[in-house]
Structure 1
Amino acid sequence: MKKLLVAVAFMLVAQMGMAQDAAFKADAVKFLNISGTASTFEMMTKDIVKNAPADKQAAFKKDLDVSIQELIGKMADLYMTEFTHDDIKAMIKYYETPVGKKAAAKTGVLFEKGQVVGQEWGMGLQSIMMKYME
């Protein structure tokens, strides 16, 4: 009887842990969505769709969207290893504020402008490298 009670208690604790992990994962996904991270993935792939034949773009986009959701799930797992659930909740709270919403809304603009700045830096880096390669 004692073994049965221990087994039942263990199962209940395991189920509670799984429920907490599910809530943690849901919050990590929510953070990625409201912070603008998920939309950045979508923005990065929008031009990829144009490379598919016109008559297959809709189907390709659908598969790509599924792939992005899988990526977001994996990114959520990554965030769960680097942050506590309370950390994620605090970050969500920030992104629900006016300035947090503004930061998330600017993610796309900053990404595009950041690409230009990065390309310019890369070109400058080439000249520095050439100086030391001669």
Structure 2
Amino acid sequence: MKKIILVAVLLLTSMYGFSQESSIQEKAVKLIKMTSGQQFEIMTEPVVKMIPEENREAFKKELLTSMEDLYAQIAEVYVENFSEAELDEILAFYHTPVGEKMVAITPELTKKGMEIGQQWGMQLQPMIAKYSK
């Protein structure tokens, strides 16, 4: 009887630990989707446009599936660096008016930032050439 109780306790403990890890993982994925999902969509737009029109919908479907895997992998990094309580606080911020605004305008900020970065990179060409001799 003691063995059965011990096994039951071990199973319940491991299940509790798994559910906690699942919960924190889910919160990390939610945060990534909330803060970076639109950015990933912007970054993949040029790739989608390279696909022939007749194959785009199938490609987008497969791309979205692969992005779920990407989110899960990135979430592991978040889980390593934030506690569940910290993720709760970050998520709470993104549900405030300022946080919602941040999420809403981040794609535009990213797009403009990339354009500025490209222009800056072009300006570096003469400097790179000067020091590459």
**How far apart are the structure 1 equivalents of 2:130 and 2:111?**
30
**How far apart are the structure 2 equivalents of 1:16 and 1:116?**
47
Report if aligned partners of 1:42, 1:68 keep a CA contact under 8 Å in 2: no
Indicate the residue corresponding to 2:34 in structure 1: 34
**How far apart are the structure 2 equivalents of 1:10 and 1:40?**
43
| Matched AA of 1:32 | I
Which sits farther off after the overlay, 83-92 or 45-54?
45-54
1:110 and 2:124 matched: no
Which sits farther off after the overlay, 69-78 or 91-100?
69-78
Indicate the residue corresponding to 1:51 in structure 2: 50
Unaligned runs of 5+ in 1: none
| 1:92 to partner: Cα distance | 0.2
Note the alpha carbon deviations across 1:26-72, whole angstroms, 9 max, x for none. 1111111222x011111211221121111111111111111111111
| Matched AA of 1:16 | Y
- Cα RMSD of the aligned pairs, angstroms, is 1.4
Indicate the residue corresponding to 1:86 in structure 2: 85
**How far apart are the structure 2 equivalents of 1:98 and 1:78?**
27
Give the structure-2-normalised TM-score: 0.91
**How far apart are the structure 1 equivalents of 2:66 and 2:33?**
15
| Matched AA of 2:125 | Q
Indicate the residue corresponding to 1:7 in structure 2: 7
Indicate the residue corresponding to 1:97 in structure 2: 96
| 1:124 to partner: Cα distance | 2.5
Report if aligned partners of 1:32, 1:76 keep a CA contact under 8 Å in 2: yes
Unaligned runs of 5+ in 2: none
How many residues are matched?
133
Note the alpha carbon deviations across 1:110-131, whole angstroms, 9 max, x for none. 1111111111221222222222
Indicate the residue corresponding to 2:25 in structure 1: 25
